[in-house]
Chains A and B, each alone.
Chain A
Amino acid sequence: VMTQSPATLSVSPGEGVTLSCRASQSVNNRLAWYQQRPGQVPRLLIYDASTRATGIPDRFSGRGSGTEFTLTISSLQSEDFAVYYCQQYNNWPPYSFGQGTKLEIK
């Protein structure tokens, strides 16, 4: 089971933010982060816990291993206000997603 916290985060543009994802058992570093803007398709941001996917700006960074992971966005842009999901791919099937963290404009 993947647990994300908090469920909602209110942040001002330009600020930095850190989102958390916790696994109920170790997933090693096999953890991905996705961004889903309203009405859009999920987009891969980070895989293997800390590797940015192609075309992802370096203001996005991922850290962690085992059961504790974080996604940090260093300076929020307007397009970053979205829902973020973590997903583990170490203990499968099934792949499991967190319930999501919604970043909203303060």
Chain B
Amino acid sequence: QLQLQESGSGLVKPSQTLSLTCAVSGGSISMSGYSWNWVRQAPGKGLEWIGQIYHVGNTNYNPSLASRVTISVDRSRNQFSLKLTSVTAADTAVYYCARDAGYLDLWGRGTLVSVSS
């Protein structure tokens, strides 16, 4: 059974870089027909799509975040990662990784990242 698990720093200082990893277990990140996505949810708010990566490395980002976002994949470790630079308090959120077949059919449990000095 495929599972996704986020990991990374739960506290980031303003202006620094947020880094998260999503480990894929129970299946290969190279499976065809899927991309691997990041979605976030600020406290008490709705869902915001951050971006996606395919196992071959092609990426798409939300234009609202594109200047600060990098998503990468490590096929040897069966994981993909998110970097968000120059963070502010507005980037405080639960960050989810998710598998995408157009719709997001499998989600990680999410990890809370707080931006604070």
Chain A residues at the B interface, C-beta cutoff of 8 Å: 30, 32, 34, 41-44, 47-48, 53, 85, 87, 89, 92-100
Contacts and interface: CB of A to CB of B under 8 A. Distances in A.
B61 interface: yes
B63 A93 contact: yes
B49 A94 contact: yes
A34 B104 contact: yes
Contacts, number: 60
Given A41-B110, A89-B102, A93-B60, 14 more contacts: A32-B102, A34-B104, A41-B96, A42-B96, A44-B103, A44-B104, A47-B101, A48-B103, A93-B52, A93-B61, A94-B60, A95-B49, A96-B49, A97-B47
A97 B96 CA distance: 14
Interface residues of B, number: 23
Q: Which of B62, B64, B103 has the most chain A CB atoms closer than 10 A to its own CB?
A: B103
12 contacts: A34-B104, A41-B109, A42-B96, A47-B101, A85-B47, A87-B103, A92-B60, A93-B51, A93-B63, A94-B51, A94-B64, A95-B37
